[in-house]
Every structure is written in structure tokens, then in C-alpha cells.
Amino acid sequence: MIKIENARNIGPITAAELKIVGLDSLQKLREVGAEEAFLLVIEKFPERLNLNFLYALFGSCRELDWRDISIEDRNALEQFLAKTKKQLKKDVL
């Protein structure tokens, strides 16, 4: 089992945040998926609401450097982020 701090695209701060939300291994990250992991982290750390963080999680799940994510996947992630921001804005109102 690969520890989360040894996963691709995951630095020490991200690893600590993922551990706080219960994702301490690459296997657990893959089980919940990048999008759900993103939502779990931003719930506790709202300042992490950004596309690069989402790319890092997505790349980690697929053992890809985040810069190698396909255009199609990038577009889907951008749409997910926009939808998430819109939902969060609604929840605040």
C-alpha cells in the first residue's frame, strides 16, 4: 500500500490535509476518487478550492503528472470546479 505522502503530485501539506480527512493511502484516495477527495478537503480547508489542487488529486489517482492530464479530462475537471463553486455560493446564501 502506497502512503499518501509518497503518491505522485502530493506534497507534504496536501498529504497532511488528506490524512485529516481520512485518506492516508493512495488506495483510499483512488477508492473515493479525485472529485470526492477534493470536496472532503475543501470542506475543512476552503482555501484549497482551486483547479491546480484538483488536477493534483486527479493525477495522483491515475499515477500521472498533473501536467499530463488530457484536455478532455481537464475540461471535465474545470466543469466540476465551476459547478462546485456555484453550489458553494448557493449554500452560503
Phi, psi of 24 (to 5 degrees): -105, 5
* CA angle (55 as vertex; 51, 59 as ends), nearest 5: 175
Say how many domains are in the chain: 1
Its pTM stands at 0.93
pLDDT digits (tens, 9 = 90+) for 8-63: 999 999 999 999 999 999 999 999 999 999 999 999 999 999 999 999 999 999 99
Which range of residues forms the domain containing residue 70? 4-92
Band of residue 90 on the pLDDT scale cut at 50, 70, 90: confident
Q: Looking at the predicted structure, is the pLDDT value of residue 93 above 60?
A: no
Report the CATH number at residue 30.
1.10.150.20
Q: What is the DSSP letter of 50?
A: S
Looking up cell 493511502 gives 25
